[in-house]
Amino acid sequence: MTIKKAIFPVGGLGTRFLPATKAMPKEMLPVVDKPLIQYAVEEAAAAGIEQFIFVTGRNKTAIEDHFDHSTELEAVLIEKDKADALEVVRRMLREPGSVSYVRQQEPAGLGHAVWCARHLIGTEPVAVLLADDLILGAPAMAEMTAAYTGGNMVALMDVPASDTGAYGIITPGSKQGNLTEIIGIVEKPAPDKAPSDKAVVGRYILEPKIFEELGKGRRGAGGEIQLTDALAARIGHTPFHGLNFSGERFDCGSKIGFLKANIAFGLAHDELQGELSQWLPTRL
Ligand code: UTP
């Protein structure tokens, strides 16, 4: 099914990356040469998304500037005859009018961030992408939109049993190919309480009814309004599926995941892979 709109929640505090995130959102941290948010926008565009909605918090200007013309920079690049660099900064711009910004006035949780975009969403399902979940390989959102037939959908991956407390964890129902029916979901369960080792990764397709649920403002794990809880409340009313995507996910919200992503994307980068793969073993 074609999904035309995507929400990018970028209103988190990014405390795990302080001081880097003191004056800029963590979604502007670069992996090799691109900020995390640009990877997410490109993944959405590859899935056919046409409208890009950013839910921002403090320090939003870096993201707005990133997705806008930089007249001064472009003028200098033209003057210096740097055609390749000019192409890089121009090619990434989206169609005029296709990018909107909504402010999340307080970081009250991912569910709250998504709810803040409600007035920009009509009656069609919407994609949600968390830029700090970076995926190498096949774009996960395109796999999801291809498999989507209605209801709610999340991306799934298996995690070590000891890590369930960092994720939304599902209770799986029947399985068909890479799609799993979801019959229960809980946010950040302790390993001895987790219903499975199948965790939600930051890619969602949501039916608009979810906004009514989020609007109830119920606080969940960590005192935050959790998207997981709203998804749980819709079980039984609407289809709910998880998709095992084929790419490799990096948790760029954590320092170690971010470092691993830089190495993996560096090793997959034409200009860097030779020198990086020679140098890496010398550090071990
Ligand atoms: P995290 O749980 O990683 O929180 O958010 P955080 O504040 O960004 O980072 P730390 O834990 O303090 O280091 C998961 C995703 O939800 C978004 C974040 O931007 C991130 O993409 N988010 C979270 C919001 O947009 N608003 C919120 O209130 C909370």
DSSP per position, 104-150: -SS---HHHHHHTTGGG--SS-EEEE-TTEEEESS-HHHHHHHH--S
* Cα 107 to averaged position of ligand 1 atoms, centre (Å): 8
* Cα 278 to averaged position of ligand 1 atoms, centre (Å): 36
Indicate if ligand 1 lies below 6 Å from the C-beta of 111: no
Q: Note the pLDDT tens digit of each residue in 181-215.
A: 999 999 999 999 999 999 999 999 999 999 999 99
Q: Which amino acid is at 121?
A: I
pTM, full prediction: 0.96
The CA-based angle 157-8-244, given to 5 degrees, is 15
Pairwise CA distance, residues 216 & 104, whole Å: 17
Whether 129 and 44 have beta carbons less than 8 Å apart is answered as: yes
Helix (H, G, I), strand (E, B) or coil at 191: helix
- CATH number of the domain located at residue range(s) 5-283 in this protein: 3.90.550.10
Query: Which of the listed residues 130, 219, 229 should we mutate to test ligand 1's pocket, taking the one with most ligand atoms within 8 A of CB?
Result: 130
pLDDT at 1: 74
Domain ranges of the chain: 5-283
* Cα 62 to averaged position of ligand 1 atoms, centre (Å): 17
Pairwise CA distance, residues 259 & 278, whole Å: 18
Relative to the CA of 130, which ligand 1 atom is closest? 21
- Residue keyed to tokens 């969403």: 121
List beta partners, residue 30. Answer: 35
From first to last of its 284 residues, what are the pLDDT tens digits of the chain? 789 999 999 988 899 999 999 999 999 999 999 999 999 999 999 999 999 999 998 877 899 999 998 999 999 999 999 999 999 999 889 998 999 999 999 999 999 999 999 999 999 999 999 999 999 999 999 999 999 999 999 999 999 999 999 999 999 999 999 999 999 999 999 999 999 999 999 999 999 999 999 999 999 988 999 999 999 999 999 999 999 999 999 999 999 999 999 999 999 999 999 999 999 999 98
Indicate if ligand 1 lies below 6 Å from the C-beta of 114: no
